[in-house]
Structure 1
Amino acid sequence: MVEKNADLHMHSTASDGGYTPSELMKKCHDNGLTHVSLTDHDTVNGVKEAIQAGQALGMTVIPGIEFSTKVSGKSVHILGYGIDWQDQSLLDMLELQREQRRKRLDVILSKLKKVGIELEAADVLEFVDGGSIGRPHVAKALVKKGHVRDIAEAFELYLAEGKPCYVSKEKEMSPEEAIEWIHRTGGLAVVAHPVYYDLDEIIEELVQTKQLDGIEIYHRDHPEDVVAHYEHLTAEWESKYGRQLLKTGGSDFHHEDYGRNREPLGVTRLQTSLAIELIDQLQQR
């Protein structure tokens, strides 16, 4: 029987997840996971706590991050594994991004006011655990103040792209810039949930130029035909460009009550051997 005890995509309260890094690691352990990575959006603030908590529980925790980038008008997320999360230049850059998210919050609050919802920054910041401010934090505040029933409704009515209070980020880096930061800090770069983008040609270019190190093939939103598609493409690109690509995956867990994320932690499990392969490649860098 093939062991599937790895989940390399999850979020904590350091970004837009619902559990602290320690709580999340406890949930991982209780779900039988042995190899995990905390990949919070545009922050590494939860990595230290996750590593310490995970190690205490006998798990292998790979430091990670999920960068928000934009290409061809579409948001594309790039996962970074094994980065030096204490690199000062990385921390400085992420701090600038946090400042941009804080400004974005003010615009969201202004838009909410225009639709008759009074919400203060303090109401939102109550849910931010020192990391990046995200729309789920706004959603939590809306729930607490009684404006919506749950987080899913907050997104459906106000915060999702195309809804009246959605605000895009002021400036988003390109995939190439994100990959450069990941490599500069000793990590490996993987495109997250490619089914979201319909940008296979652009992903292939990143593979061809030896920038991208892998593809997140296994994800909760990848049905069997999509998995088969990216397994085929990955094999094709490996043969075509003469290089090995990482094949990663995870549940992209935030919280059981987060809208479309109403899936249990570890719902998408990666073969443990593939997680170990990632670790081996990191050690060779």
Structure 2
Amino acid sequence: MIIDLHTHSRFSDGTQSPAELIAEAAARGIAVIGLTDHDTTSGWDEAGEAAHDAGIGLVRGMEVSCRFEGISVHLLSYLHDPRGAELTDVVADARDGRMVRTRAIVERLAEDYPITWDFVLSCTGEDATIGRPHIADALVTLGIVEHRGAAFESLLSVGSRYYVSLPTISPLRAIRLIHEAGGVAVFAHPRAASRGRVVPDSGLQAMIAAGLDGIEVDHRDNPLPDRAELRRTALDHGLLVTGSSDYHGTGKPNRLGEHSTSLDVFERLLDRASGIECLGFDRIGF
């Protein structure tokens, strides 16, 4: 049983609609898929309808942008109820901040390259959480770079003169807000050094003390030796150990279902959630 709890649609930086994503998941024999777009739940309704028609389980979630002592942190929030939650207001502010930041990057790039804000918008989906991946797609379309990865390694890297930092909240606060909304908080790809600086052990311990529920261990960006260490940490602190693809369609090389979460861990995740239900739970065949 493949349970892939980390994917993205066009509502953030994926290349497929939620319905297209669900259809591919069903075709690949995935039993449960988690839709976790960046700082938005806009794709939930479409994904829910598609999952019902496809007969697979859907975990509605969101990837929350955070920062710990200047280091980027992504928290996966699973099964939280967005209605009336402070978390919803916070991520709405984050979306606004991301838009301002993205536009500022484009303005800097426009000083040296033939790129405009309107062109970047034309490369995004409706209601998408616009960010650097969309700038990267525009740069690819314009022939300035060969692919998204090349853009992030050069013009959009943290060390680039075009880079603008993203205003975000502390993961410690985010964990509290996720719990208040009835959700489950999992630290996404914590050792992804290829993306930039990673949170030190002291930061991970602080997140655990704040109530972190789990760690995304099996992820292609976590080196194998680090995964073993993360498993030990999770075991020592009673944390959930998840595995996911972080699938973005054609936006990244990640393959849908390339890592999976065990059924036992998934059931424990569902037990911890008090916000909303896993859609299609009764059809999964547990």
TM-score, normalised via structure 2 length:
0.87
Which of 221, 246, 253 matches 1:262?
253
Structure 1 SS opposite 2:205: helix
Partner of 2:154, secondary structure, is helix
1:103 to 94, 100, 104: 100
2:281 maps to which residue?
none
Structure 1, unmatched stretches of 5+, are: 239-244
The aligned residue for residue 219 of structure 2 is 219
- Quote the Cα distance in structure 2 between the aligned partners of 1:15 and 1:159: 17
| More off after superposition, 81-90 vs 182-191 | 81-90
The question of whether the paired residues in 2 share the 8 Å contact of 1:204 and 1:237 is answered with no
Is the Cα contact below 8 Å between 1:10 and 1:251 reproduced in 2?
Answer: yes
- Give, as a single letter, the amino acid of the residue that structure 2 aligns with 1:36: I
Query: What TM-score, normalized to structure 1?
Result: 0.87
Is 1:27 the equivalent of 2:18? no
Change (3 A) 1:90 1:70: closer
2:78 to 77, 81, 92: 81
Distance 2:160 2:275 in 1: 46
Q: Which of the pair has the greater relative contact order for Cα pairs under 8 Å at 6+ separation? A: 2
Q: How does 1:62-77 map to 2 (within 5 A)?
A: 62-77=59-74
Q: Is 1:280 aligned to 2:280, yes or no?
A: no
Matches of 2:69 and 2:88, distance apart in 1: 27
Q: How far 1:53 moved relative to its partner?
A: 1.0
Residue in structure 1 matching 2:240, options 225, 246, 265: 246
Aligned positions, number: 270
Deviates more, 1:171-180 or 1:157-166: 157-166
Distance 2:264 2:134 in 1: 35
Q: Distance in 2 between matches of 1:172 and 1:91?
A: 14
Q: How does 1:4-153 map to 2 (within 5 A)?
A: 5-87=2-84, 89-114=86-111, 116-126=112-122, 127-153=124-150
Work out the percentage of aligned pairs sharing the same amino acid: 36
**Separation in structure 1 between the aligned mates of residue 180 and residue 274 of structure 2, nearest angstrom:** 15
Q: Deviations over 1:105-154 (max 9, x none)?
A: 2211121022x212222211121330311111111112222322322222
Distance 1:173 1:113, change over 3 A: same
Instruction: Return the offset for 1:283.
Output: 5.0
What does residue 201 of structure 2 align with?
200
Q: Distance in 2 between matches of 1:225 and 1:67?
A: 26
- Could you give the per-residue CA deviations for residues 213-270 of structure 1, whole angstroms, max 9, x where no partner exists? 11112212234322221111111223xxxxxx222220111133x3xx3121111122
Unaligned runs of 5+ in 2: 193-197, 277-286
